[in-house]
Amino acid sequence: MHVDNKYWYFKSVLSPDQCRNIIDSGLNKIEESKKNGIDTTASTYGDTQKKEGDEKIALNDKTLEEVSKEKNFKRTEVENKTYIRDSEVSWLNEKWLYDLILPYLHSANKNAGWKYDIENSEAFQFTVYRPGGFYGWHMDGNSCHNSVYKRFVPGITPEKENGDPAPGYTSIEDSIGKVRKLSMTINLNSPNDYEGGNLNFDFGPHNAGTRYHECVEIRPQGSIIVFPSYTHHQVTPVTRGIRYSLVLWSLGKPFR
């Protein structure tokens, strides 16, 4: 799908105090989850995240094809021998957070010229990237009818080991039959706090000279970026310090 604006951003619009409040809320949720025996490791569609004691290879910022050539693996071997994500997450759904953040999403949707029909948003995902942490190339959603959230029925539809809905299923009534249309990422800490951890886009091979883009625009603390959820993107490995981010996916009926 061609769009004139592939992303829209707001530079340093959240104050350091607001960012600190979000970080504290996210870290408290992580600690609370751990005390209750809940795994806080970030998961992925297809269960390709790093696991405790995992001997797989970190995909880092490389493609499967690049690792295949480097390691002399077959394509099917690469998928089984690598992991695409290494981070820790918690989920936030406090009203004050939606009141603070959603106006930026709606403004981007309008000003970028997308004007997608957005009906609701998922919970915020607070993410911690420690040294070595990363998220390889992926999309947040395909945005077509094949990717709609399906109703989760305990004991009948697929579920994770902890009983939560498997990827693609939801128990939230407002999300059933909808897809992710817009994604938002917020940089919560100062760029002086860490190195690496860059958000990169892949706009596809037909964007001659501009296929890959490093989003230096949102390095400053409190910066927000919004982009269509079908956009390929990655977070490169953090090489020093810790990066904190907040992610939100907004939903609507599939494109027609």
Q: What is the DSSP letter of 148?
A: P
Secondary structure string (H, E, C) spanning 64-126: HHHHHHHHCCCHHHHHHHEECEECEEEEECCHHHHHHHHHHHHHHHHHCCCCCCCCEECCEEE
Whole-structure pTM value: 0.93
Please state, as a whole number, how many other Cβ atoms lie within 10 Å of the Cβ of residue 99: 9
**Mean pLDDT, residues 1-28:** 95
Residue 57 has pLDDT above 90, yes or no: no
Residue 241 has pLDDT above 70, yes or no: yes
**Residues whose CB falls within 8 Å of the CB of residue 72, separated by 6 or more in sequence, listed in order:** none
Residue 73 has pLDDT above 90, yes or no: no
Exposure of 58 in the CB half-sphere (CA atoms within 13 A): 15
Exposure of 59 in the CB half-sphere (CA atoms within 13 A): 26
Q: How far apart are CA 198 and CA 5, in angstroms?
A: 20
- Mean pLDDT of all residues belonging to the chain: 92
**pLDDT for the residue numbered 34:** 95
Asked if 239 contacts 115 with a C-beta cutoff of 8 angstroms, the reply is: no
Task: Read off the tokens for 23.
Answer: 């970080």
pLDDT tens-digit map of 146-182: 889 999 999 999 988 777 888 889 999 999 999 999 9
